[in-house]
Chains A and B, each alone.
Chain A
Amino acid sequence: MAETEQPAGPPETLVDPIDMSSLDRNFRDEIKSMPNGDELSACFACTTCTAACPIANQWNYKPHQLIRMIILGMRDEVLSSKEIWECLTCFQCQERCPQKVRVTDIFFDTKNLAAEEGKIPENIIGLGRALLEDGQLYTVTADWEREDMDLEPEVPGLSTDAIKEILKDTRTGRIAGGDE
């Protein structure tokens, strides 16, 4: 599968061994108990997900490897990976999985676990902060443009308080709130 350049001669090891002492055997059950994670163990590593992924060739860990790493218990490697945050959430992998493993949904679960441990890219925390402080991701700046098009200057019906109120008490409030 891996099409990286092969050095001349036989490789030093045929398979890089995993450090078994660092495996977290409960990781698979943790993921299986999360939303849409229950089919995790059905994966037989056919690599269809990786073939479907438009950016897998940019990744050190391919989608099928990430799933395998979860099953093996490589918790730290998965939760610290850049790959889970670069997932486009295009659902091409999940859509084609012959075993009905909800690959994209499972990557969402891993991001939630990483977030709980504070392993979140700064810009994503920024989006959480925008939701907490502004109650929306995009704010109308050119109301004259809306009026020119026969629209009300402000977005009709949008409540910014509702989302602020909900998210201050959930994980978003803990990781992106300004209380500390």
Chain B
Amino acid sequence: MSRVPTYNLYMGCSVPANYPNYETSMLKVAEALGMELEYMEGVACCGSPNLRAIDYFGWLVVNARTLAIAEQNGHDIVTPCNGCFGSLKDVHHFLKHNIEHREKVNKELKKMNLEFKGTITPRHFIEALYTDIGIEEIKKKVTNPLDGVGIAIHYGCHLLRPADVTEMKPDVFDHLVEATGAKVIEYPLWKQCCGATVLPVNEPLAIRLARDKIKSMKESGAEYTTVCCPACGNQLDLQQLGLKESYGEVYNLPVLLYPQILALAMGMSEEDVGLEMNRVSADSILEHLSG
């Protein structure tokens, strides 16, 4: 690849507010691998599946607007959040295939001097990493590979499904984790939802889903887990601390945002990846780095 790939970086609101460690490690990894991420200007929050639930048309317009802004410079969007990815990708897919709604949405966008044409693609950061940089290039930059420590992966629902919309294959994350020298731990509940979406209407159910997931990982021999979404991260990491009270169970399963693992394996420091911000202490990962 001769040209440096350039992307419109869409952060959403959750990663910047709750996971600056995800944001900073993503930016550092991207820079080291020659991906140019440029923050988008003047873009709105995606609204999340909750907006889609109560106001489908408003959700279409908000996300079509973000896509139309990216079309102005022609670069694909990348985002580190499964929720934002799910919204942008679904709206993109829907408006590409539904002319009637596209015309209605474009009537609204015209008031902002914008038009949705569908000329760029919204993508998740880890998919861009996998497809545009590639596992071989990533491996060349791994100077301190992990020692084969077992990591369970939580893809997150909106990264994978519905597959005709997301166009994601459920092995991308596996290859990315293996590239760091870690061993991917298979576990029975790997497809199960983290529970984040049901949190506003049934908190005990949301916590139960997270707990079952963590339990399944731990019982399958995982020493760590990794996610690529702030909402999933919240469910597995922050909520894990509450399981002592609600279930009388302590799992002590550290949750890493994927770019943190990659950055450490590429020789960056624990300060570079904001390791102290991880709720369940993940410091022990440093002992698994070689070199």
Contact = CB atoms under 8 A, between A and B. Distances in A.
A164 to B, nearest CB: 9
B44 A124 contact: no
Interface string A136-150: 111111000110111
Interface residues of B, number: 54
Interface in A118-171: 120-121, 123-128, 131, 135-141, 145-146, 148-151, 155-160, 162-163, 166-167, 170-171
B62 interface: yes
Contact of B45 (A115, A136, A149): A136
B47 interface: yes
A20 interface: no
Contacts of A41: none
A100 B267 CA distance: 47
A156 B9 CA distance: 10
A91 interface: yes
B198 A115 contact: no
A128 B58 CA distance: 11
Given A95-B162, A139-B17, A146-B16, A163 B45 contact: yes
A146 B20 contact: yes
B124 to A, nearest CB: 15
Nearest to A155: B16
Contacts of B47: 131, 137, 163
A173 B23 CA distance: 32
Contacts of B191: 92
Contacts of A124: 50, 53-54, 200-201
Given A123-B200, A145-B277, A136 B13 contact: yes
Contacts of B44: 135, 158-160, 162-163, 166
Nearest to B202: A86
B13 A127 contact: no
Nearest to B166: A91
A176 B54 CA distance: 10
28 contacts: A82-B201, A86-B205, A89-B49, A90-B192, A90-B197, A91-B162, A92-B191, A104-B162, A108-B53, A109-B56, A115-B53, A115-B54, A127-B50, A128-B51, A131-B51, A137-B13, A137-B47, A138-B17, A140-B16, A146-B23, A151-B20, A151-B24, A155-B17, A157-B40, A167-B51, A167-B55, A170-B55, A171-B54
B interface: dominant SS = helix
A178 B191 CA distance: 40
A137 B54 contact: no
A171 B13 CA distance: 22
A170 B162 CA distance: 26
Contacts of B53: 85, 108, 111-112, 115, 124
Contacts of A36: 94
Contact of A128 (B54, B61, B94): B54
Interface in A46-82: 54-55, 58, 82
A114 to B, nearest CB: 9
Nearest to B86: A89
Interface in B23-46: 23-24, 39-45
A102 B165 CA distance: 12
